Amino acid sequence: MRKMSKMLCLIISAVLLLTFSACAKAQPVLLSYEGMTFSSAQYAFALAERKGQIVDSYYDYTGKDVSSDLTFWQTMSDGKPYSEVAENGALEFCKLIIITDYFCNLYKLEIIDETVIKDLDKLMEDIINDFGGEDLLSIELAKYGITIKELRHYYESYERIKLLKDYWYGEKGDMKIPESKVKASFLENYYKVDVMFYSFFDSSNQFKMDKEITEEEAREYFDEKYVKVQHILYSTVDRSGNALSDEEVALAKQKATEAYNAIIAGEASFEDKKADNEDSGTEYVFTYGAMVDEFEEASFEMAVGDIRLVETEFGFHIINKLEIDDKDFEGKLAEVNKAISKDRMTAVAEAMYQKLLSGKAEFVKSEDDAEYYFFPDAVFTDGEMNGDELEDLITEMEIGEIVLHKIVYQGVESGYYIIRRTELTDVDVNNNYKEVEDKLINEAFYIYIETFFDSIVVNQEEFDKFDIITTVSFPYYY
């Protein structure tokens, strides 16, 4: 019985392969250039791979599968739905492949590097194993109308692009980037700095708490910089933060004003009006920066026992200032110690900054017990620094200028940089030459090869049949 089942599976697989193979032969041409063609089946696979790359990347980042998510694919990007952007991107890549194949044939460029061939062999072996064997992979590929041989040719296209790029821009290439241009690009787009990093966190990403803070120091800090209030909110926004109608806002203001006047006149107590509160909480112990400005300013200005009506972006608040006690302090002790530790590290960084400005200290490697990390001669280009703000700051600095910069990432303060911009040297050029040259080669290669795209004949009717939303994605391997 098991032999019959196994045989039946093989027969079904064979029939499916024959059926899909027959369909693949009928695939129309999508692109043509100088006697070369690129079939709609090849594009179907390129689109499936593009979708696989997008879907997998988005899932890794958000944990959400957007394969058939209309909202995701219809999101506008540069005036077009993302589905159209992805489809056009796959088409542009296919144009790159057909032009590359044309020139590789013209120049007789072939993949002969044994290491590259072995890598391609390994890639194909991995894909075949992932799909449970050649037969099952062939059935999967038949959904797009291509074969395993055509799949390998598709992956070889990545290597042929490298071959053509090297033929044109390599050491013997007719379009090799001049050394002077590489150097000029480096000096224009790269920057060098010395950096002292005063971090609030240790190498294990744990906050560095100052262990010498006494309870008396913590209590003094707490009494000076914390307040406790109760409030009753008459909201002017809904739960999503959207503004209510003018009529609803006017009604909220009326209710808040009447309640406030009643409390001030002694006709009602604050406790009597607590039931009106539309906030999830009533009592708060907080410090500077924790609340919206109007609420914070009023809370710190008021004396204990004062009651005030304040308007914020969330609505109308009746605020009652309370006296902080030992229990409040105990509940905020860890937060207070953390704040004091930050303040002390900030003071150390600011003191060093002033010494550097006055010439009483130098940018030097830190000792083992130093409170900062030292990064000399750090060379970077656009997009490599931690945030656009820091990058913009450095690019506007003069050579030799020193600045102190607070590091804030996604709302979290992590320390301070003391930065000195320094001058680039020939050593820096040599150390980064290959990286800069590769960037210039890639830029020149794609600009040049795109000049041939207008000469490619596109079967628009065939192209319009494709829809990335309904396309079955294929894993991105290369």
pLDDT per position as a tens digit, 448-468: 999 999 999 999 999 999 999
108-145: buried (b, 16+ CB within 10 Å) or exposed (e) per residue? Answer: ebeeeeeeeeeebeeebeebbeebeeebebbbbbbbbb
Q: Residue 322 above 70 pLDDT?
A: yes
Domain 215-324, classified CATH 3.40.50.300, yes or no: no
Q: What integer is the mean pLDDT of 364-382? A: 84
Residue-range domain boundaries for the chain: 20-176+439-463, 189-207+349-424, 215-324
* Tens digit of each residue's pLDDT (9 = 90 or more) over 127-145: 999 999 999 999 999 999 9
CATH topology of domain 189-207+349-424: Chitinase A; domain 3 (3.10.50)
pLDDT of residue 25: 53
pTM of the model: 0.73
Q: Residue 5 above 90 pLDDT?
A: no
- In this prediction, residue 26 has a pLDDT band, given cuts at 50, 70 and 90, of low
Lowest mean pLDDT among 9-13, 78-82, 157-161: 9-13
pLDDT of residue 14: 40
Question: Mean pLDDT over all residues of the chain?
Answer: 92
- In this prediction, residue 6 has a pLDDT band, given cuts at 50, 70 and 90, of very low
Q: What integer is the mean pLDDT of 10-17? A: 39
Q: Do domains 189-207+349-424 and 215-324 have the same CATH topology?
A: yes
pLDDT of residue 197: 94
Q: What integer is the mean pLDDT of 383-392? A: 80
Lowest mean pLDDT among 51-55, 267-271, 383-387: 383-387
Question: Token pair for residue 464?
Answer: 């319009």
Q: Which residue in this structure is represented by tokens 């100052």?
A: 210
196: number of Cβ within 10 Å = 26
Residue 122 Cα distances to 118, 125, 332, angstroms:
6, 5, 58
